[in-house]
Amino acid sequence: MSATNIVWHKASVTRMRREELNQHKSIILWFTGLSGAGKSTLAHAVEERLFQMGCRTFVLDGDNIRHGLCADLGFSEEARTENIRRVGQAAKLFLEAGIMVLTAFISPFRNDRQRVRSLVPHGEFIEIYCRCPLDVCETRDVKGLYKRARAGEIKEFTGISSPYEEPIAPELMVDTEQLTIEQSVDAVINLLFGRGIIKTAA
The yes-or-no answer on residue 76 being catalytic is no
Contacts of its own copies in 166-195 (CB under 8 A): 176-182, 184
Query: To the nearest whole angstrom, how small is the minimum distance from the Cβ of residue 11 to its own copies?
Result: 6
Could you tell me if 80 and 154 are in contact, meaning their C-beta atoms sit under 8 angstroms apart?
A: no
> Is residue 41 close enough to count as binding its own copies by CB under 8 A?
yes
Q: Which three-class secondary structure string do you get for the chain? A: CCCCCCCCCCCCCCHHHHHHHHCCCCEEEEEECCCCCCHHHHHHHHHHHHHHCCCCEEEEEHHHHHHHHCCCCCCCHHHHHHHHHHHHHHHHHHHHCCCEEEEECCCCCHHHHHHHHCCCCCCCEEEEEEECCHHHHHHHCCCCHHHHHHCCCCCCCECCCECCCCCCCCCEEEECCCCCHHHHHHHHHHHHHHCCCCCCCC
> Is residue 42 close enough to count as binding its own copies by CB under 8 A?
yes
CA-to-CA distance for 152 and 146, rounded, in angstroms? 10
State which of residues 16, 76, 77, 89 lies at the interface with its own copies (CB under 8 A): 89
Contacts of its own copies in 48-87 (CB under 8 A): 48, 51, 54, 56-60, 63-64, 68-69, 71-72, 82, 86
State which of residues 28, 32, 38, 145 lies at the interface with its own copies (CB under 8 A): 38
> Is residue 28 close enough to count as binding its own copies by CB under 8 A?
no
Residues that bind its own copies (rule: CB under 8 A) add up to a total of 52
CB closer to its own copies out of 46 and 162: 46
Instruction: Point out the catalytic residue in the list 26, 35, 40, 107.
Output: 107
Residues taking part in catalysis = 107
Q: Which residues bind its own copies (CB under 8 A)?
A: 1-2, 4, 6, 8, 10-13, 17-18, 21, 38, 40-42, 44-45, 47-48, 51, 54, 56-60, 63-64, 68-69, 71-72, 82, 86, 89-90, 92-94, 96-99, 176-182, 184
